[in-house]
A and B are shown apart, each in its own frame.
Chain A
Amino acid sequence: MIPAAFEYYRPKDMDGVLSILAEHGDDARVMAGGHSLIPMMKLRMADVPHLIDLQDVAGLSGIEVDGGQIRIGAMVTQHDIIDHADLTAAAPILREAALQIADPQVRYMGTVGGNVANGDPGNDMPGLMQCLDAQFTVVGTDGERTIAARDFYEAAYMTAREDEEVLTSVTFAAPKGGYAYEKQKRKIGDYATAAAAVQIVRDGDICTEASIAMTNLSDTPIYSEAAGAALIGTMVDAAALTAAVNAMLGDIDPTEDNRGPIAFKKHVAGVILRRAIERAWSRA
């Protein structure tokens, strides 16, 4: 419950953040909503001698929906996502997923940037962002670069972001067609036993595009290109659903924990993906 002592900084701009990161290296860490980092600090599982609070840094909190392109600042909270009518109209899967993350209090504080940058495979937004083929913008002393969500996750808590870089925004093209974020969990606020993000495009009776990503079924989120490909050109009938599920099962690599053994997680992953595809198809 009691975190170790730290030096606290609340800079007003990104230059201020980057100079503290440059000065203290591994000893410094940025904090957004604090709802993953503070719990880890309270358990002394995270050691952060220099804590940089991003709450006053300008330019990180906007949601822009413009001409089919969406940009979400890193400090946008889950509550902001749920509340934003234009964003919900353009990319309804975000609201559907955000409502399945944590609980009301955590959603007022927890941010999109923190969720995607954290690197915990339990987080829901990483898989969702892979489904949407989002790009993450990070800034460092050498300037900005973008990293595809599908290339961002290397292992649990290991991402393509360098220690001295800060994730500033998430951008993606407004998704087309039907959508679903389906999550199996033990209770409110739990990370998924299995979850699936699905976007699907329908032309007449035929599926013409499908994007599928899975949450908490490996040490990273899993974008399953093969599962999407198994649906394209089909009428999303029983055979196509089975093919997509089998393709997905070939891509995931769950581990046993309190949520169940590996065989159970694979079973749940199949059930959840099937439901997600069916719901997305019905909305397409």
Chain B
Amino acid sequence: MSNKQHYKLTVNGKQEEFLAEPRELLIYTLRERLNITGPHIGCETSHCGACTVTIDGKSVKACTMFVAQADGKDITTIEGIGNPDALHPLQTAFKEHHGLQCGYCTPGMITRATKLLEENPTPTEEDIRFGMAGNICRCTGYQNIVKSIQAAAAEMNAAKEAAE
């Protein structure tokens, strides 16, 4: 049975229109249809958070949303947060504080962290660990991810103060 429907998404500021089956999980739409391969798949039980993207201001695991649900929505992935020529402060901080090793959780981690810092610009270590609890990492032991987010928060807050 194929029942393709017409869908429209905004991904990293760009309008995307295509035909897809409603059952297509958003993570596959991004990766296989739109070639946005930063968000990853680490599990099939909605635990790992490697597929985390931002949808209409919420951190969402893109493996647990059908493309049909996402129709009409505004999505940001790691590719829309920064790029090698213009890194986001979180990306710089993950690099400088060794917040990644294999890099597989990193796009989801950083995407989630952008939202965490938006909601709480001055998180404690406990706030960070709790606020990142939907993202699993097998390499780092989390310690340097916490440091990276703390460093990025300090950097972003200083930049904001300087601008005011």
Could you tell me the distance in whole angstroms from the C-beta of A187 to the nearest C-beta in chain B? 9
- In contact, B49 and A8 (Cβ under 8 angstroms): no
> With the chains together, A102 CA to B46 CA distance in Å?
10
From A5, A7, A55, A79, contact of B58 by CB (8 A): A79
- In contact, A104 and B23 (Cβ under 8 angstroms): no
Residues of B within 8 A of A109 (CB): 58, 60, 64-65
Return the chain A residue nearest B59 by Cβ: A105
Q: Which residues of A (85-109) have their CB < 8 Å from a CB of B? A: 102-106, 108-109
> With the chains together, A10 CA to B68 CA distance in Å?
9
Given contact pairs A10-B68, A104-B131, A5 touches B61 in the complex (Cβ within 8 A) = no
From A5, A53, A102, contact of B3 by CB (8 A): A5
- In contact, A103 and B23 (Cβ under 8 angstroms): no
Given contact pairs A34-B65, A105-B52, A189 touches B59 in the complex (Cβ within 8 A) = no
- In contact, B49 and A42 (Cβ under 8 angstroms): no
Residues of A within 8 A of B22 (CB): 6-8, 51
Could you tell me the distance in whole angstroms from the C-beta of B82 to the nearest C-beta in chain A? 21
From B44, B64, B112, B134, contact of A189 by CB (8 A): B134
From B21, B69, B116, B131, contact of A5 by CB (8 A): B21
Could you tell me the distance in whole angstroms from the C-beta of B70 to the nearest C-beta in chain A? 10
**Which B residues have a C-beta under 8 Å from some C-beta of A?**
1-3, 5, 21-23, 25, 41, 44-47, 49, 52, 58-61, 63-66, 68-69, 71, 112, 116, 131-134
**Which A residues have a C-beta under 8 Å from some C-beta of B?**
1-8, 10, 34-35, 38-39, 42-43, 51, 53, 55, 79, 102-106, 108-109, 188-189
